Amino acid sequence: MYKKRIVLFICIVMLIFTGNSFADNSSIEKDKLNNVKNTIKDFKDKLSNNKEKEKNVTAQMNTLDAKIDNNQNEIENLNSKISQTKKNIEVAKKELEDATQQVTEQDDIMLKRLRAMYKNGEVGYMQVLLESDSVIDLLSNLDMVKKIFNQDMELLEIMKQRREEIDEKKKKLEAYERNLSIMISNMETKQKQLKIDIGEMIKTKELIKQDSKKFEKQIDELNAYANKLSEEIRRKQSTGKYVGGQLNWPAPGYTRITSPFGYRIHPILKRKKMHTGIDVGVPYGKTIVAAGDGKVIMANWYGGYGKAVMVDHGGGIVTLYAHNSTLLVKVGQNVKRGQAITKSGSTGNSTGPHLHFEVRKNGQYTDPLPWLKGR
């Protein structure tokens, strides 16, 4: 009996220790599992944050692009209105000058008339009656006095009208000058804001440039647009034989190629990437010209190309000018070789101001350099 109790006691003790050991092991495994779960959660949070940041950067770029585009359009409109107002001011000044000259001449006429009346004495009806030799002479003299009187009254009325016209023209001129002052002030404000927005865009794009994955994504997106564009060009371009000869350099005064055509080891990514045209280092806002005579078949925002222009030169040859800040031509417009068509910029998938220039043959991109003559 005693032995049985000893055995039972030993079994209970062993069970207790085994239970504690199992509980300890279970607790450790739970901690490990929790750690793994927390690590996974951290990774998910970081991934979510990165995606959110990427979305925010893209959204910020799109917002800035739209803001810059809107500001530039408003500045262009203001420039146009300012130019027209200046012309209106010149016309108003000329009209005022002419009206003032007419009044001066009429003042001289009236002064001469008054001097003559003063010198000869005032002509009265009684004097005319007494000096008339006959009734016919009297009527004739009265008619002459009446005509002189009517002419004087007409002259006074004309002078009154001229002076009223001068007052109106002065008010018109003052209104033009006030409007001009307001428009110039508005334009200066918008130009300052544009400068700030462009600065923010440059900083944002510099951050993207430092993030190789985002930068690579931009390049891939741009190449996707380039491939998508091929079919669109084929639909829009004309047929026939190309007779335009070699094309002119599209960026007068700027000849440094910052990125050549074709597959090359990307200087930042250090990986082989396709480049569908050439990039020319051009500062912001410089003039870009048509490389040859042709017809504009696109002048709009085109995805990663930003503000872009395409010119059809006939015979399946189309040139493309991308990342511009301002477009100076419209679809359907005929342009001449060397004609200003855009202002350089950094719109779309671009990390800094430059010209991206392509030459397309039957929609397919080709190396632009053999098509171009002296830079």
* Average pLDDT over all residues of the chain: 75
Report, as an integer, the average pLDDT of 40-53.
48
Predicted pLDDT at 11: 53
Name the most confidently modeled range: 165-174, 179-188, 199-208, 260-269: 179-188
Domain boundary among 189, 208, 227: 208
Cα–Cα distance, 246 to 352 (Å, whole number) = 29
In a domain, 226, yes or no: no
The answer to whether residues 355 and 305 belong to one domain is yes
Average pLDDT of the segment spanning 244-248:
89
Same domain membership, residue 254 and residue 194: no
Band of pLDDT at residue 17, cut at 50, 70 and 90: very low
Give the domain-ending residue among 208, 225, 255.
Answer: 208
Residues 254 and 179 in one domain: no
Neighbours of 121 (CB within 10 A): 8
Please tell me whether residues 197 and 314 are part of one structural domain.
no
Provide the domain count of the chain.
2
pLDDT 10s digits, 259-287: 899 876 655 445 666 788 999 999 988 99
Q: Is residue 338 over pLDDT 90?
A: yes
* Pairing of the two strands 364-366 and 272-275: unpaired
Whether 178 and 315 map to the same domain: the answer is no
Q: Does residue 134 lie in a domain region? A: no
Query: What integer pLDDT is reported at residue 60 of this predicted model?
Result: 72
Please report whether residue 160 resides in a domain: no
- Whether 43 is covered by a domain: the verdict is no
The answer to whether residues 196 and 276 belong to one domain is no
pLDDT of 191 reads 85
Is residue 138, in this structure, part of any structural domain at all?
Answer: no
Per-residue model confidence (pLDDT) at position 253: 94
The structure tokens listed for 371 are 């098509």
229: left (phi over 0), alpha (psi -120 to 50) or beta: alpha
With beta carbons less than 8 A apart as the criterion, state whether 232 and 257 touch: no
| Predicted local confidence at residue 269, as pLDDT | 47
**Backbone phi and psi for residue 73, each to the nearest 5 degrees, phi listed first:** -65, -40
pLDDT at residue 38, rounded to an integer: 57
Domain, as residue range, for 356: 235-371
Among the residue ranges 95-99, 221-225, 333-337, the one predicted with the least confidence is 221-225
Mean pLDDT for 93-116 is 73
Q: Are residues 347 and 289 in the same domain?
A: yes
CA distance 135 to 143: 12
pTM: 0.53
